[in-house]
């Protein structure tokens, strides 16, 4: 293709050439041979869809990295020095729940349905600021738990004995006795007008009928927790 330039000034020649060049570039871009950025170069060395920041991950301003359940996207491996000591789900136990576990400092304890052989939670003392002594005979065992906030709480526990409330009954306590001697006897705390038995003696010695003399007696033990009792009882009528 020829271009006639005779008779034109130099400036007109330049503008005419630029016009032809612009037309050619426009045609090439239209048919996909190249983009204008390919022909003249990009003003930025980073692709448009590339990352806008680089380097270490930074937590948002609301400090979710302080949350113990926060999953760090950089390091999914837990730091053993930051782990909280939890005793299974007993960390959530409250008064009225029943729990069980081995008599060992490192054992896991669970909240369970209340049944013979496990423990009833009498009280949860926040921070362990006091003892379980106020529960007197009902208190059989204590267990420390460390909750998710790092606070040590004291659980006051009472064994669920097969013979019922008689295991925790002080002298002169009124009871209702049911069942037939000796294996199925069961005792429940009641008001004295409703009672048919009363406690006359108590010892932590297992199977000690001689302690009770001529009165009836009930006895049981749990060897793992070194708990035992012999309770003396006689028939009782309020009226």
More confident residue, 41 or 163: 163
Which of 81-85, 125-129, 231-235 shows the lowest mean pLDDT across its residues? Answer: 81-85
Beta strands in the chain (DSSP E): 98-100, 110-112, 119-125, 141-146, 152-159, 174-178, 186-189, 197-203, 216-222, 227-235
Peptide bond into 142 cis (omega under 30): no
Per-residue confidence (pLDDT) for residue 71, from 0 to 100: 26
Q: What percent of the chain has pLDDT over 70?
A: 61
Q: Give the pLDDT confidence of 73-112 residue by residue, as tens digits.
A: 222 332 323 333 344 578 889 999 999 999 988 888 999 9
Per-residue confidence (pLDDT) for residue 79, from 0 to 100: 33
Residue 36: pLDDT band by 50, 70, 90 thresholds?
very low
Residue 221: pLDDT band by 50, 70, 90 thresholds?
very high
């Amino acid at each position: 293709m020829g271009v006639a330039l005779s008779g034109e000034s130099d400036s007109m020649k330049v503008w005419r050439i630029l016009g032809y060049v612009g037309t050619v570039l426009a045609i090439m871009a239209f048919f996909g041979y190249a983009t204008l950025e390919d022909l003249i170069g990009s003003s930025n060395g980073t692709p448009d869809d590339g990352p806008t920041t680089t380097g270490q991950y930074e937590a948002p301003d609301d400090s979710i990295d302080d949350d113990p359940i926060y999953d760090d996207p950089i390091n999914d491996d837990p730091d053993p020095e930051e782990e909280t000591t939890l005793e299974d789900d007993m960390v959530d136990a409250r008064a009225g729940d029943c729990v069980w576990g081995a008599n060992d400092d490192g054992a896991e304890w669970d909240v369970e349905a209340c049944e013979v052989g496990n423990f009833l939670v009498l009280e949860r003392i926040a921070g362990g600021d006091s003892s379980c002594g106020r529960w007197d005979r009902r208190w059989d065992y204590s267990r420390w738990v460390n909750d998710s906030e790092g606070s040590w709480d004291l659980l006051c526990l009472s064994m669920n004995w097969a013979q019922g409330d008689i295991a925790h009954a002080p002298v002169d306590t009124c009871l209702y006795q049911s069942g037939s001697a000796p294996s199925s006897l069961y005792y429940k705390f009641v008001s004295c007008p409703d009672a048919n038995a009363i406690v006359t003696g108590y010892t932590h010695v297992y199977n000690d009928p001689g302690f009770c003399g001529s009165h009836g007696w009930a006895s049981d033990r749990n060897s793992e927790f070194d708990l035992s009792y012999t309770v003396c009882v006689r028939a009782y009528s309020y009226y």
